[in-house]
Amino acid sequence: MVGVASRCVALALLNLVAWPATAVAGPALATASPVPAAPQDSGITWESLPELMELGAANGLSGSILAVRDGEVVLEQGYGYADPAKQHKVTPETLFAIGSTPIDFTHGAILKLAELGKLSLSDPVAMHLDPVLKRAGKRGGLPDGVPADKRGLTLEHLRSGRSGLLDFPGLPGVDANLDLAWIDRQEFLRRVLTSELLFEPGARAEHSHAAWGVLAAVVEIASGQDYEAFLREHFFEPAGMQRTGNYPLAARFPAGEVAVGLGGNLWGEVNAPSHWGPTSWLVMGSGGMVSTPRDLYRWREFLRGGEVLTPESLGRYGVAGPNLFEGGNDRGFINTIGFHGDSMVVVCSNSQVELGDTTAQISMAAAEVGAGPPPPGMERSGDDGGGTEGGMVTDRGPRPGVDFELRTGGFVLQPLHPRHVELDYKACMDNREHLRAALGWGGWPQDDMTLEGDRGDLERHFGEFERDEAYALAVLTPSLDEITGCVYINRDPKDPQAVSVAYWVVEQNIRKNTDKAVVQEVLNLIPAWGFKRAVFPVQKSYARGVEVLESFAESWNLVSRARGEQVLYSWQAR
Protein backbone atom coordinates (compact mmCIF):
# COMPACT_ATOMS: atom_id res chain seq x y z
CA MET A 1 0.00 0.00 0.00
CA VAL A 2 1.33 3.43 -0.94
CA GLY A 3 1.25 5.99 1.82
CA VAL A 4 0.29 9.67 1.73
CA ALA A 5 3.91 10.83 1.61
CA SER A 6 4.69 8.95 -1.59
CA ARG A 7 1.43 10.14 -3.14
CA CYS A 8 2.58 13.70 -2.56
CA VAL A 9 5.87 12.89 -4.26
CA ALA A 10 4.08 11.51 -7.32
CA LEU A 11 1.78 14.51 -7.48
CA ALA A 12 4.80 16.76 -7.28
CA LEU A 13 6.25 15.01 -10.32
CA LEU A 14 3.02 15.53 -12.20
CA ASN A 15 3.24 19.26 -11.51
CA LEU A 16 6.95 19.43 -12.30
CA VAL A 17 6.71 18.12 -15.82
CA ALA A 18 3.68 20.22 -16.82
CA TRP A 19 2.18 17.68 -19.17
CA PRO A 20 -0.23 18.93 -21.82
CA ALA A 21 -3.78 17.67 -21.72
CA THR A 22 -3.71 17.04 -25.46
CA ALA A 23 -1.02 16.89 -28.11
CA VAL A 24 -0.97 16.63 -31.85
CA ALA A 25 2.40 15.52 -33.19
CA GLY A 26 4.61 12.48 -32.78
CA PRO A 27 8.21 11.48 -33.33
CA ALA A 28 9.19 9.57 -36.42
CA LEU A 29 10.10 5.95 -37.00
CA ALA A 30 11.01 3.23 -34.52
CA THR A 31 13.97 4.74 -32.78
CA ALA A 32 15.59 5.40 -29.49
CA SER A 33 17.25 8.77 -29.73
CA PRO A 34 18.88 10.22 -26.61
CA VAL A 35 16.28 11.76 -24.32
CA PRO A 36 16.47 13.89 -21.20
CA ALA A 37 16.00 11.82 -18.09
CA ALA A 38 12.88 12.32 -16.00
CA PRO A 39 13.24 14.97 -13.30
CA GLN A 40 16.06 13.85 -11.03
CA ASP A 41 14.29 15.28 -7.96
CA SER A 42 11.02 13.46 -8.66
CA GLY A 43 11.53 11.09 -5.74
CA ILE A 44 9.82 8.20 -7.52
CA THR A 45 10.68 4.93 -5.75
CA TRP A 46 9.74 1.28 -5.98
CA GLU A 47 7.04 1.96 -3.39
CA SER A 48 5.51 4.86 -5.31
CA LEU A 49 5.56 3.18 -8.74
CA PRO A 50 1.93 1.98 -8.52
CA GLU A 51 0.69 5.46 -7.72
CA LEU A 52 2.84 6.98 -10.45
CA MET A 53 1.22 4.69 -13.00
CA GLU A 54 -2.27 5.43 -11.69
CA LEU A 55 -1.59 9.14 -12.02
CA GLY A 56 -0.34 8.55 -15.54
CA ALA A 57 -3.51 6.63 -16.42
CA ALA A 58 -5.61 9.46 -15.03
CA ASN A 59 -3.76 11.79 -17.40
CA GLY A 60 -4.16 9.72 -20.56
CA LEU A 61 -1.53 6.98 -20.34
CA SER A 62 -2.45 3.59 -21.76
CA GLY A 63 0.09 0.85 -21.33
CA SER A 64 1.50 -2.06 -19.38
CA ILE A 65 4.27 -2.20 -16.78
CA LEU A 66 6.38 -5.00 -15.34
CA ALA A 67 8.54 -4.04 -12.35
CA VAL A 68 10.95 -6.60 -10.90
CA ARG A 69 12.87 -5.63 -7.79
CA ASP A 70 15.77 -7.83 -6.71
CA GLY A 71 14.30 -10.73 -8.65
CA GLU A 72 10.75 -10.36 -7.30
CA VAL A 73 7.80 -9.02 -9.33
CA VAL A 74 6.42 -6.02 -7.45
CA LEU A 75 4.08 -4.66 -10.13
CA GLU A 76 2.62 -6.18 -13.29
CA GLN A 77 -0.46 -4.39 -14.56
CA GLY A 78 -2.20 -2.83 -17.54
CA TYR A 79 -3.67 0.68 -17.61
CA GLY A 80 -6.10 2.35 -19.98
CA TYR A 81 -7.22 0.95 -23.29
CA ALA A 82 -5.60 -1.13 -25.99
CA ASP A 83 -8.45 0.07 -28.20
CA PRO A 84 -10.79 2.71 -26.72
CA ALA A 85 -13.20 2.42 -29.66
CA LYS A 86 -13.90 -1.21 -28.78
CA GLN A 87 -13.36 -0.80 -25.04
CA HIS A 88 -10.50 -3.32 -25.08
CA LYS A 89 -8.48 -2.72 -21.93
CA VAL A 90 -4.73 -3.10 -21.64
CA THR A 91 -3.59 -6.18 -19.70
CA PRO A 92 -0.13 -7.60 -19.01
CA GLU A 93 -0.66 -9.83 -22.06
CA THR A 94 -1.36 -6.97 -24.51
CA LEU A 95 1.01 -6.85 -27.48
CA PHE A 96 2.70 -3.52 -28.34
CA ALA A 97 4.95 -2.32 -31.15
CA ILE A 98 8.37 -2.06 -29.47
CA GLY A 99 10.27 0.50 -31.54
CA SER A 100 14.00 -0.15 -31.84
CA THR A 101 14.22 -2.89 -29.23
CA PRO A 102 14.84 -5.53 -31.97
CA ILE A 103 18.33 -4.03 -32.28
CA ASP A 104 19.12 -6.05 -29.16
CA PHE A 105 17.76 -9.22 -30.75
CA THR A 106 19.93 -8.64 -33.83
CA HIS A 107 22.92 -8.06 -31.59
CA GLY A 108 22.30 -11.32 -29.76
CA ALA A 109 21.93 -13.18 -33.06
CA ILE A 110 25.24 -11.87 -34.44
CA LEU A 111 27.07 -12.82 -31.25
CA LYS A 112 25.48 -16.28 -31.31
CA LEU A 113 26.53 -16.86 -34.92
CA ALA A 114 30.08 -15.87 -33.98
CA GLU A 115 30.03 -18.49 -31.23
CA LEU A 116 28.70 -21.07 -33.72
CA GLY A 117 31.65 -20.34 -36.00
CA LYS A 118 29.45 -18.99 -38.79
CA LEU A 119 31.14 -15.59 -38.78
CA SER A 120 33.70 -13.44 -37.02
CA LEU A 121 33.10 -9.87 -35.86
CA SER A 122 36.23 -8.87 -37.77
CA ASP A 123 34.79 -10.17 -41.06
CA PRO A 124 34.42 -7.61 -43.85
CA VAL A 125 30.73 -7.35 -44.63
CA ALA A 126 31.60 -8.12 -48.25
CA MET A 127 32.58 -11.65 -47.23
CA HIS A 128 28.94 -12.39 -46.46
CA LEU A 129 27.10 -10.10 -48.86
CA ASP A 130 29.11 -10.47 -52.09
CA PRO A 131 27.75 -13.90 -53.07
CA VAL A 132 24.08 -12.92 -52.75
CA LEU A 133 24.60 -9.48 -54.29
CA LYS A 134 26.40 -10.86 -57.32
CA ARG A 135 23.87 -13.64 -57.74
CA ALA A 136 21.05 -11.09 -57.78
CA GLY A 137 23.01 -8.57 -59.83
CA LYS A 138 21.41 -9.45 -63.13
CA ARG A 139 18.02 -8.56 -61.64
CA GLY A 140 18.96 -4.99 -60.79
CA GLY A 141 21.16 -5.69 -57.79
CA LEU A 142 24.89 -5.12 -57.38
CA PRO A 143 26.71 -7.39 -59.86
CA ASP A 144 30.11 -6.32 -58.50
CA GLY A 145 29.11 -6.97 -54.91
CA VAL A 146 29.71 -4.48 -52.09
CA PRO A 147 30.88 -1.14 -53.55
CA ALA A 148 34.55 -0.20 -53.19
CA ASP A 149 33.98 2.52 -50.56
CA LYS A 150 32.40 -0.03 -48.20
CA ARG A 151 34.66 -3.02 -48.71
CA GLY A 152 36.55 -2.13 -45.52
CA LEU A 153 33.32 -2.15 -43.53
CA THR A 154 33.35 -4.93 -40.92
CA LEU A 155 30.69 -6.57 -38.79
CA GLU A 156 32.33 -4.94 -35.77
CA HIS A 157 31.90 -1.51 -37.37
CA LEU A 158 28.21 -2.27 -37.84
CA ARG A 159 27.76 -3.69 -34.33
CA SER A 160 29.54 -0.88 -32.52
CA GLY A 161 27.91 2.09 -34.28
CA ARG A 162 30.98 3.04 -36.33
CA SER A 163 29.79 2.01 -39.80
CA GLY A 164 29.39 5.42 -41.44
CA LEU A 165 26.13 4.21 -43.01
CA LEU A 166 23.04 6.39 -43.28
CA ASP A 167 20.47 6.02 -40.49
CA PHE A 168 17.25 5.13 -42.35
CA PRO A 169 16.87 3.82 -45.91
CA GLY A 170 13.31 5.11 -46.48
CA LEU A 171 12.82 7.41 -49.48
CA PRO A 172 10.32 10.27 -49.10
CA GLY A 173 8.08 10.45 -52.14
CA VAL A 174 8.92 6.85 -53.06
CA ASP A 175 7.88 4.90 -49.97
CA ALA A 176 4.28 5.56 -48.95
CA ASN A 177 5.34 5.06 -45.32
CA LEU A 178 8.99 5.28 -44.28
CA ASP A 179 8.55 2.39 -41.82
CA LEU A 180 5.84 0.22 -43.30
CA ALA A 181 6.13 0.37 -47.10
CA TRP A 182 7.31 -3.02 -48.32
CA ILE A 183 10.82 -3.44 -49.71
CA ASP A 184 12.67 -6.75 -49.79
CA ARG A 185 16.17 -7.54 -48.59
CA GLN A 186 17.73 -7.04 -52.01
CA GLU A 187 16.28 -3.54 -52.39
CA PHE A 188 17.29 -2.65 -48.83
CA LEU A 189 20.89 -3.69 -49.43
CA ARG A 190 20.97 -1.88 -52.77
CA ARG A 191 19.78 1.37 -51.15
CA VAL A 192 22.13 1.21 -48.19
CA LEU A 193 25.24 0.06 -50.02
CA THR A 194 24.89 2.59 -52.84
CA SER A 195 24.28 5.49 -50.44
CA GLU A 196 27.07 7.94 -49.62
CA LEU A 197 29.02 7.14 -46.47
CA LEU A 198 28.68 9.76 -43.75
CA PHE A 199 32.28 9.05 -42.72
CA GLU A 200 34.96 6.41 -43.21
CA PRO A 201 34.02 3.22 -41.31
CA GLY A 202 35.65 3.27 -37.90
CA ALA A 203 36.41 7.00 -37.96
CA ARG A 204 33.81 7.86 -35.33
CA ALA A 205 30.58 6.66 -33.74
CA GLU A 206 27.19 7.63 -35.12
CA HIS A 207 24.12 5.46 -34.74
CA SER A 208 22.62 3.86 -37.83
CA HIS A 209 19.42 1.83 -37.90
CA ALA A 210 20.42 0.69 -41.39
CA ALA A 211 23.60 -0.89 -39.95
CA TRP A 212 21.44 -3.22 -37.88
CA GLY A 213 19.41 -4.04 -40.99
CA VAL A 214 22.61 -5.06 -42.75
CA LEU A 215 23.45 -7.25 -39.75
CA ALA A 216 19.97 -8.82 -39.99
CA ALA A 217 20.78 -9.68 -43.61
CA VAL A 218 24.07 -11.23 -42.46
CA VAL A 219 22.12 -13.28 -39.89
CA GLU A 220 20.03 -14.75 -42.71
CA ILE A 221 22.97 -15.38 -45.03
CA ALA A 222 25.28 -16.88 -42.39
CA SER A 223 22.60 -19.03 -40.78
CA GLY A 224 20.68 -20.04 -43.90
CA GLN A 225 17.49 -19.18 -42.02
CA ASP A 226 14.91 -16.43 -42.07
CA TYR A 227 15.91 -13.70 -39.60
CA GLU A 228 12.86 -14.18 -37.37
CA ALA A 229 13.13 -17.97 -37.57
CA PHE A 230 16.73 -17.83 -36.30
CA LEU A 231 15.69 -15.64 -33.39
CA ARG A 232 12.77 -17.91 -32.57
CA GLU A 233 14.87 -21.09 -32.59
CA HIS A 234 17.82 -19.81 -30.60
CA PHE A 235 16.24 -17.18 -28.35
CA PHE A 236 12.47 -16.69 -28.33
CA GLU A 237 11.35 -20.32 -27.95
CA PRO A 238 13.85 -21.37 -25.29
CA ALA A 239 13.21 -18.12 -23.40
CA GLY A 240 9.43 -18.65 -23.48
CA MET A 241 8.84 -15.47 -25.53
CA GLN A 242 5.59 -16.54 -27.20
CA ARG A 243 4.36 -12.98 -27.75
CA THR A 244 7.42 -11.57 -29.51
CA GLY A 245 7.95 -11.46 -33.26
CA ASN A 246 7.53 -9.50 -36.47
CA TYR A 247 4.32 -7.52 -37.00
CA PRO A 248 2.35 -10.43 -38.59
CA LEU A 249 2.60 -12.34 -35.30
CA ALA A 250 0.11 -9.86 -33.81
CA ALA A 251 -2.55 -10.91 -36.34
CA ARG A 252 -2.58 -14.40 -34.79
CA PHE A 253 -3.93 -13.05 -31.51
CA PRO A 254 -7.47 -11.81 -30.74
CA ALA A 255 -7.93 -8.14 -31.62
CA GLY A 256 -8.48 -7.27 -27.98
CA GLU A 257 -4.94 -8.41 -27.16
CA VAL A 258 -3.19 -6.09 -29.65
CA ALA A 259 -2.72 -2.41 -28.81
CA VAL A 260 -3.87 0.24 -31.28
CA GLY A 261 -1.61 3.29 -31.55
CA LEU A 262 -3.53 6.26 -30.20
CA GLY A 263 -1.47 9.22 -31.37
CA GLY A 264 0.81 10.79 -33.90
CA ASN A 265 0.87 9.51 -37.45
CA LEU A 266 -2.15 7.17 -37.55
CA TRP A 267 -1.82 4.65 -40.37
CA GLY A 268 -4.43 2.50 -42.08
CA GLU A 269 -7.99 1.71 -41.08
CA VAL A 270 -6.71 0.21 -37.84
CA ASN A 271 -3.47 1.70 -36.52
CA ALA A 272 -2.15 -1.53 -35.04
CA PRO A 273 0.73 -3.92 -35.80
CA SER A 274 -1.76 -6.63 -36.72
CA HIS A 275 -2.86 -4.44 -39.66
CA TRP A 276 0.53 -3.14 -40.82
CA GLY A 277 1.41 -6.09 -43.03
CA PRO A 278 4.74 -7.93 -43.18
CA THR A 279 7.72 -6.26 -41.54
CA SER A 280 9.55 -4.37 -44.28
CA TRP A 281 13.30 -4.40 -44.71
CA LEU A 282 13.03 -0.67 -44.17
CA VAL A 283 13.17 -1.60 -40.47
CA MET A 284 14.12 -5.29 -40.33
CA GLY A 285 16.72 -5.86 -37.63
CA SER A 286 16.12 -2.51 -35.96
CA GLY A 287 12.33 -2.43 -35.60
CA GLY A 288 9.15 -3.96 -36.97
CA MET A 289 8.31 -6.19 -33.99
CA VAL A 290 5.78 -6.62 -31.19
CA SER A 291 6.25 -7.85 -27.64
CA THR A 292 5.09 -7.46 -24.05
CA PRO A 293 6.88 -6.27 -20.90
CA ARG A 294 6.98 -9.85 -19.60
CA ASP A 295 8.62 -11.15 -22.79
CA LEU A 296 11.20 -8.37 -22.74
CA TYR A 297 12.03 -9.36 -19.18
CA ARG A 298 12.30 -12.98 -20.30
CA TRP A 299 14.79 -11.90 -23.00
CA ARG A 300 17.19 -10.37 -20.52
CA GLU A 301 16.82 -13.19 -17.99
CA PHE A 302 17.48 -15.77 -20.69
CA LEU A 303 20.69 -14.00 -21.67
CA ARG A 304 21.73 -13.60 -18.05
CA GLY A 305 21.27 -17.32 -17.51
CA GLY A 306 24.40 -17.92 -19.59
CA GLU A 307 23.00 -20.83 -21.60
CA VAL A 308 22.79 -19.10 -24.97
CA LEU A 309 25.82 -16.77 -24.97
CA THR A 310 29.24 -17.07 -23.34
CA PRO A 311 30.40 -14.58 -20.69
CA GLU A 312 32.63 -12.96 -23.32
CA SER A 313 29.67 -12.40 -25.66
CA LEU A 314 27.51 -11.16 -22.80
CA GLY A 315 30.23 -8.65 -21.98
CA ARG A 316 30.07 -7.39 -25.56
CA TYR A 317 26.29 -7.26 -25.42
CA GLY A 318 26.17 -5.34 -22.11
CA VAL A 319 23.58 -7.30 -20.15
CA ALA A 320 24.65 -6.28 -16.65
CA GLY A 321 23.53 -2.65 -16.55
CA PRO A 322 22.75 -0.17 -15.18
CA ASN A 323 21.07 0.78 -18.44
CA LEU A 324 18.18 2.96 -19.53
CA PHE A 325 16.46 2.72 -22.90
CA GLU A 326 13.63 4.45 -24.73
CA GLY A 327 12.27 3.62 -28.17
CA GLY A 328 9.07 4.10 -30.10
CA ASN A 329 7.50 5.11 -33.38
CA ASP A 330 5.36 7.93 -34.73
CA ARG A 331 2.16 5.90 -34.55
CA GLY A 332 1.64 6.23 -30.80
CA PHE A 333 3.93 3.56 -29.35
CA ILE A 334 6.71 4.04 -26.82
CA ASN A 335 8.81 1.47 -25.00
CA THR A 336 11.05 2.18 -21.99
CA ILE A 337 13.34 -0.20 -20.15
CA GLY A 338 15.56 0.36 -17.14
CA PHE A 339 17.60 -2.34 -15.44
CA HIS A 340 20.49 -3.07 -13.14
CA GLY A 341 21.45 -6.29 -11.40
CA ASP A 342 18.36 -8.36 -10.60
CA SER A 343 16.01 -5.40 -11.02
CA MET A 344 14.17 -4.23 -14.13
CA VAL A 345 11.24 -1.99 -15.09
CA VAL A 346 9.62 -2.25 -18.52
CA VAL A 347 6.80 0.02 -19.73
CA CYS A 348 5.11 -0.52 -23.10
CA SER A 349 2.54 2.06 -24.16
CA ASN A 350 0.32 2.95 -27.11
CA SER A 351 -0.61 6.49 -25.98
CA GLN A 352 2.36 8.72 -26.88
CA VAL A 353 1.14 11.53 -29.10
CA GLU A 354 4.17 13.82 -28.93
CA LEU A 355 7.70 13.82 -27.61
CA GLY A 356 7.89 14.54 -23.89
CA ASP A 357 4.15 14.17 -23.25
CA THR A 358 2.48 12.53 -20.24
CA THR A 359 3.13 9.03 -21.47
CA ALA A 360 6.80 9.68 -22.23
CA GLN A 361 7.49 11.34 -18.88
CA ILE A 362 5.70 8.72 -16.80
CA SER A 363 7.36 5.88 -18.71
CA MET A 364 10.83 7.35 -18.31
CA ALA A 365 10.32 8.08 -14.61
CA ALA A 366 9.25 4.46 -14.07
CA ALA A 367 12.17 3.04 -16.07
CA GLU A 368 14.63 5.15 -14.08
CA VAL A 369 13.58 3.29 -10.96
CA GLY A 370 14.57 0.02 -12.63
CA ALA A 371 17.88 1.44 -13.82
CA GLY A 372 18.80 2.59 -10.32
CA PRO A 373 20.93 5.65 -9.57
CA PRO A 374 23.47 6.61 -12.25
CA PRO A 375 27.13 6.02 -11.44
CA PRO A 376 28.77 8.95 -9.63
CA GLY A 377 29.55 11.81 -11.98
CA MET A 378 27.45 10.46 -14.82
CA GLU A 379 24.11 11.55 -16.22
CA ARG A 380 21.98 8.89 -17.77
CA SER A 381 19.95 9.07 -20.94
CA GLY A 382 18.36 6.53 -23.24
CA ASP A 383 19.84 5.78 -26.65
CA ASP A 384 20.20 2.85 -28.98
CA GLY A 385 23.52 3.77 -30.44
CA GLY A 386 25.49 6.16 -28.24
CA GLY A 387 27.16 3.42 -26.19
CA THR A 388 29.37 0.57 -27.28
CA GLU A 389 26.82 -2.18 -26.91
CA GLY A 390 23.63 -2.75 -28.88
CA GLY A 391 20.39 -1.05 -28.02
CA MET A 392 21.21 -0.09 -24.43
CA VAL A 393 23.34 2.76 -23.20
CA THR A 394 24.49 3.77 -19.74
CA ASP A 395 25.29 7.47 -19.93
CA ARG A 396 25.14 10.49 -22.17
CA GLY A 397 28.70 11.61 -21.51
CA PRO A 398 29.56 15.17 -20.48
CA ARG A 399 26.85 17.78 -20.21
CA PRO A 400 27.10 20.56 -22.79
CA GLY A 401 28.22 23.16 -20.27
CA VAL A 402 30.79 21.09 -18.38
CA ASP A 403 34.23 19.99 -19.62
CA PHE A 404 33.11 19.79 -23.22
CA GLU A 405 35.52 19.49 -26.12
CA LEU A 406 35.13 17.78 -29.47
CA ARG A 407 38.18 17.11 -31.62
CA THR A 408 38.25 16.08 -35.27
CA GLY A 409 41.07 15.94 -37.76
CA GLY A 410 40.26 19.42 -39.04
CA PHE A 411 39.08 21.44 -36.05
CA VAL A 412 38.24 21.52 -32.35
CA LEU A 413 34.92 22.63 -30.83
CA GLN A 414 35.18 24.27 -27.41
CA PRO A 415 32.93 26.54 -25.35
CA LEU A 416 33.56 30.11 -26.52
CA HIS A 417 35.30 31.45 -23.43
CA PRO A 418 36.55 34.96 -22.57
CA ARG A 419 40.06 33.55 -22.92
CA HIS A 420 39.32 33.28 -26.64
CA VAL A 421 38.49 36.98 -26.99
CA GLU A 422 41.55 38.07 -28.94
CA LEU A 423 41.22 35.15 -31.37
CA ASP A 424 37.49 35.77 -31.74
CA TYR A 425 37.92 39.51 -32.25
CA LYS A 426 40.53 38.95 -34.97
CA ALA A 427 38.43 36.32 -36.75
CA CYS A 428 35.35 38.57 -36.73
CA MET A 429 37.10 41.72 -37.87
CA ASP A 430 39.20 40.01 -40.56
CA ASN A 431 36.09 38.40 -42.03
CA ARG A 432 33.44 41.01 -41.33
CA GLU A 433 32.64 41.74 -44.98
CA HIS A 434 32.20 38.06 -45.70
CA LEU A 435 30.08 37.55 -42.58
CA ARG A 436 27.80 40.50 -43.32
CA ALA A 437 27.30 39.54 -46.96
CA ALA A 438 26.98 35.79 -46.50
CA LEU A 439 25.05 35.49 -43.25
CA GLY A 440 22.89 38.58 -43.57
CA TRP A 441 23.26 39.40 -39.89
CA GLY A 442 22.69 43.13 -40.31
CA GLY A 443 25.77 45.23 -39.69
CA TRP A 444 27.52 42.59 -37.55
CA PRO A 445 30.40 42.61 -36.96
CA GLN A 446 30.29 46.37 -36.59
CA ASP A 447 33.27 48.38 -37.74
CA ASP A 448 33.47 50.02 -34.31
CA MET A 449 33.42 46.72 -32.37
CA THR A 450 36.15 46.77 -29.71
CA LEU A 451 38.14 44.07 -28.03
CA GLU A 452 36.56 44.89 -24.67
CA GLY A 453 33.09 44.85 -26.21
CA ASP A 454 33.78 41.41 -27.63
CA ARG A 455 35.05 40.29 -24.23
CA GLY A 456 31.75 41.31 -22.67
CA ASP A 457 29.83 39.37 -25.32
CA LEU A 458 31.93 36.29 -24.71
CA GLU A 459 31.46 36.54 -20.94
CA ARG A 460 27.70 36.65 -21.50
CA HIS A 461 27.84 33.68 -23.88
CA PHE A 462 29.92 31.63 -21.48
CA GLY A 463 27.55 32.40 -18.63
CA GLU A 464 24.70 31.03 -20.74
CA PHE A 465 26.80 27.97 -21.47
CA GLU A 466 27.50 27.29 -17.80
CA ARG A 467 23.80 27.70 -16.96
CA ASP A 468 22.92 25.24 -19.75
CA GLU A 469 20.78 27.89 -21.48
CA ALA A 470 22.66 28.34 -24.75
CA TYR A 471 25.89 26.98 -26.16
CA ALA A 472 28.39 29.23 -27.92
CA LEU A 473 31.13 27.07 -29.43
CA ALA A 474 34.42 28.22 -30.91
CA VAL A 475 35.60 26.40 -34.03
CA LEU A 476 39.35 26.26 -33.41
CA THR A 477 42.25 24.96 -35.47
CA PRO A 478 43.72 21.71 -34.07
CA SER A 479 46.59 23.77 -32.63
CA LEU A 480 44.02 25.90 -30.73
CA ASP A 481 45.78 29.11 -31.82
CA GLU A 482 43.16 30.36 -34.31
CA ILE A 483 39.39 30.62 -34.39
CA THR A 484 37.99 29.68 -37.77
CA GLY A 485 34.30 29.99 -36.92
CA CYS A 486 31.62 29.86 -34.23
CA VAL A 487 28.42 27.95 -33.53
CA TYR A 488 25.49 29.25 -31.48
CA ILE A 489 22.98 26.71 -30.16
CA ASN A 490 20.11 28.44 -28.39
CA ARG A 491 17.40 26.72 -26.37
CA ASP A 492 13.79 27.50 -27.17
CA PRO A 493 12.40 29.00 -23.94
CA LYS A 494 8.95 27.58 -24.76
CA ASP A 495 10.22 24.10 -25.59
CA PRO A 496 13.15 22.78 -23.51
CA GLN A 497 13.77 19.96 -25.98
CA ALA A 498 14.17 22.32 -28.95
CA VAL A 499 17.05 24.52 -30.10
CA SER A 500 17.94 26.88 -32.93
CA VAL A 501 21.39 26.74 -34.48
CA ALA A 502 23.42 29.46 -36.19
CA TYR A 503 27.00 29.09 -37.34
CA TRP A 504 29.70 30.79 -39.35
CA VAL A 505 33.09 29.77 -40.74
CA VAL A 506 35.77 32.11 -42.04
CA GLU A 507 35.81 32.42 -45.80
CA GLN A 508 39.06 30.55 -46.51
CA ASN A 509 37.88 27.53 -44.50
CA ILE A 510 34.71 27.20 -46.55
CA ARG A 511 36.93 26.12 -49.43
CA LYS A 512 38.10 23.26 -47.16
CA ASN A 513 34.45 22.24 -46.49
CA THR A 514 34.98 23.07 -42.83
CA ASP A 515 31.46 24.48 -42.61
CA LYS A 516 29.98 21.19 -43.78
CA ALA A 517 32.05 19.23 -41.29
CA VAL A 518 30.99 21.57 -38.48
CA VAL A 519 27.31 21.19 -39.34
CA GLN A 520 27.71 17.40 -39.33
CA GLU A 521 29.21 17.47 -35.84
CA VAL A 522 26.51 19.83 -34.59
CA LEU A 523 23.87 17.47 -35.97
CA ASN A 524 25.56 14.71 -33.97
CA LEU A 525 25.71 16.80 -30.81
CA ILE A 526 22.09 17.94 -30.76
CA PRO A 527 20.56 14.49 -30.15
CA ALA A 528 23.51 13.41 -28.02
CA TRP A 529 22.74 16.32 -25.68
CA GLY A 530 19.14 15.21 -25.37
CA PHE A 531 17.37 17.61 -27.72
CA LYS A 532 14.49 16.37 -29.85
CA ARG A 533 14.01 19.25 -32.26
CA ALA A 534 16.23 21.82 -33.95
CA VAL A 535 15.95 24.52 -36.58
CA PHE A 536 18.75 25.96 -38.71
CA PRO A 537 17.76 29.39 -40.11
CA VAL A 538 19.68 30.40 -43.25
CA GLN A 539 19.38 33.55 -45.31
CA LYS A 540 18.03 32.76 -48.80
CA SER A 541 20.84 34.90 -50.21
CA TYR A 542 23.47 32.72 -48.52
CA ALA A 543 23.81 30.15 -51.31
CA ARG A 544 26.58 28.23 -49.56
CA GLY A 545 24.57 27.87 -46.35
CA VAL A 546 21.58 26.55 -48.29
CA GLU A 547 23.87 24.15 -50.15
CA VAL A 548 25.37 22.79 -46.92
CA LEU A 549 22.01 22.22 -45.23
CA GLU A 550 20.55 20.66 -48.37
CA SER A 551 23.43 18.17 -48.39
CA PHE A 552 22.18 16.81 -45.05
CA ALA A 553 18.47 17.00 -45.88
CA GLU A 554 18.08 13.33 -46.82
CA SER A 555 20.41 11.68 -44.30
CA TRP A 556 19.11 13.75 -41.38
CA ASN A 557 15.55 14.18 -42.62
CA LEU A 558 15.79 17.96 -42.55
CA VAL A 559 12.58 19.64 -43.64
CA SER A 560 12.91 23.09 -45.22
CA ARG A 561 10.40 25.90 -45.42
CA ALA A 562 10.64 29.52 -46.43
CA ARG A 563 10.02 32.31 -43.91
CA GLY A 564 10.54 35.81 -45.19
CA GLU A 565 14.15 36.18 -46.27
CA GLN A 566 15.15 32.93 -44.58
CA VAL A 567 14.96 29.21 -45.23
CA LEU A 568 14.36 27.23 -42.04
CA TYR A 569 15.76 23.69 -41.96
CA SER A 570 14.02 21.72 -39.23
CA TRP A 571 15.13 18.44 -37.63
CA GLN A 572 13.11 16.22 -35.32
CA ALA A 573 14.21 13.03 -33.60
CA ARG A 574 12.87 9.91 -35.26
Share of the chain above pLDDT 70, in %: 85
Q: List the alpha helices (DSSP H) in 34-87.
A: 49-58
Judgement on whether residues 434 and 513 belong to the same structural domain of the protein: yes
Examine the fold and report which residue of 206, 228, 250 is the final residue of a domain before the chain moves on.
Answer: 228
Q: Is residue 382 part of a domain?
A: no
Count Cβ atoms below 10 Å from residue 40 Cβ, excluding itself: 11
Q: Which of 224, 109, 197, 223 lies closest to 159, judged by CA?
A: 109
Q: Which of 31, 27, 104 lies closest to 383, judged by CA?
A: 31
Q: Is residue 384 part of a domain?
A: no
Residue 202 sits in a domain of what CATH number? 3.40.710.10
Judgement on whether residues 16 and 141 belong to the same structural domain of the protein: no
How would you classify residue 381: left for phi > 0, otherwise alpha for psi between -120 and 50, otherwise beta? beta
Judgement on whether residues 269 and 308 belong to the same structural domain of the protein: yes
Q: What is the pLDDT of residue 231?
A: 98
Judgement on whether residues 416 and 543 belong to the same structural domain of the protein: yes
Q: How confident is the model at residue 276 (pLDDT cuts 50, 70, 90)?
A: very high
Structural domain boundaries, residue 296: 4-101+242-371
Share of the chain above pLDDT 90, in %: 51
DSSP string, 514-559: HHHHHHHHHHHHHHHTT--EEEEEEETT-HHHHHHHHHTTTTTT-E
Q: Check pLDDT > 60 for residue 18.
A: no
Helix (H) or strand (E) holding 69: strand 63-69
pLDDT, one tens digit per residue, over 86-108 is 999 999 999 999 999 999 999 99
Pairing of strands 533-539, 495-505: parallel
Number of domains the chain contains: 3
Q: How confident is the model at residue 508 (pLDDT cuts 50, 70, 90)?
A: confident
Q: What is the pLDDT of residue 138?
A: 61
CA dihedral over 373, 375, 379, 383, signed as positive or negative: negative
Judgement on whether residues 62 and 205 belong to the same structural domain of the protein: no
Amino acid symbol at 126: A
Q: Check residues 193 and 264 and name the one with the higher pLDDT.
A: 193
Picking from 91-95, 133-137, 304-308, 438-442, which range would have the lowest pLDDT averaged per residue?
438-442
| CA atoms within a 13 Å half-sphere pointing along the CA-CB vector of 267 | 22
Q: Check residues 114 and 385 and name the one with the higher pLDDT.
A: 114
Residue 9 CA to residue 572 CA, distance in Å, equals: 32
Distances (CA, A) of 131 to 70, 119, 146, 185, 446: 48, 15, 10, 14, 63
